[in-house]
Structure 1
Amino acid sequence: MLRVGSTVLGVSDMRRAAEFWCRALGYVPRDEIEERFTVLAPPDGVGQNVSLMVSETPVQEKPRVHLDLYASDPAEEIDRLVNLGASIVDWTDYPPDRDFTVLADTEGNRFCVIDKS
């Protein structure tokens, strides 16, 4: 049986990306932060890892794969993430009844904050 162990994000600045995602998710590096590849994990070991891999490919404007982050107070979480270095993406494809906001991390990787209130 298979299970998802990690979602891998391409980054250009490993330390900046690791700092952002650790603070955003409350994760910790599983091992020492490496120059080319780093695994971030929930501190209690329960849940999916997020891995960072140095990549020279450009960030996709509309990525086929991205993170959805669930929030009970999305406005508060969006403010917190923006204060950590994320940016709100000017997304033109929102449906009329949207329950999500598109953001970009410090590397430009797109992710969504989903309103689960």
Structure 2
Amino acid sequence: MLRVGSVVLGVSDVPRTAAFWTEALGYVPREEMADDRVVLVPAEGTGVQLSFDLSETPLQEHPRIHLGLYAGDAADQAAEIERLVSLGAQRVDRGLYPDDADFVVPADLEGNRFCVIDTVHH
């Protein structure tokens, strides 16, 4: 049976992206970081790895794949969004998303969008 082991994203600045996601998720590099690739793993146990590879492909404003991060309730979600913004994440205009959505969409330092989901309503 297959299972997801790693989510791989192309980025233009591997060290900068790794630093953001290390702080955002509490992940650590699996091995010494290279300028063109790094694999991050959960510091506390097992879980899905994040791999960032150097890419010259242009950023998609509305990517077909993204990370979905689970928060607790709406208060946890709001606190996590504020924490991520303090790390450099950008708020994304909600114009494309329903007003009553259980998710909020920020973007990381590279502009890669991801969701922070209120799991009480999920």
Same fold (TM > 0.5): yes
Find the aligned partners of 2:99 and 2:89 in 1 and give their Cα distance: 24
Q: Return the match for 2:90 from 72, 76, 87.
A: 87
Find the aligned partners of 1:5 and 1:36 in 2 and give their Cα distance: 20
Q: Return the match for 1:76 from 76, 79, 83.
A: 79
Provide the residue aligned with 1:4 in structure 2: 4
- Return closer, same or farther for 1:59/1:91 CA change in 2, 3 Å cut-off: farther
Gaps of 5+ in 1: none
Shift of 1:91: 3.3
> 2:69 matched to 1:66?
no
SS of equivalent residue, structure 1 residue 60: coil
Find the aligned partners of 2:99 and 2:109 in 1 and give their Cα distance: 28
Please list every run of at least 4 consecutive aligned residues from structure 1 whose deviation after the TM superposition is greater than 3 angstroms: none
> Is the contact between residue 9 and residue 109 of structure 1 (CA under 8 Å) also seen in structure 2?
no
> 2:95 matched to 1:102?
no
Provide the residue aligned with 2:13 in structure 1: 13
Q: TM-score, normalising length from structure 1?
A: 0.95
Q: Which amino acid aligns with 1:95?
A: P
SS of equivalent residue, structure 1 residue 64: coil
Q: TM-score, normalising length from structure 2?
A: 0.91
Gaps of 5+ in 2: none
Q: Which amino acid aligns with 2:67?
A: L
Shift of 1:19: 0.4
Provide, for residues 11-52 of structure 1, a one-character-per-residue CA deviation record: whole Å limited to 9, x for no partner.
111111010000000000000111111100001331100110
Identity, % of aligned pairs? Answer: 62
Question: How many residues align structurally?
Answer: 117
Provide the residue aligned with 1:52 in structure 2: 52
Provide the residue aligned with 2:24 in structure 1: 24
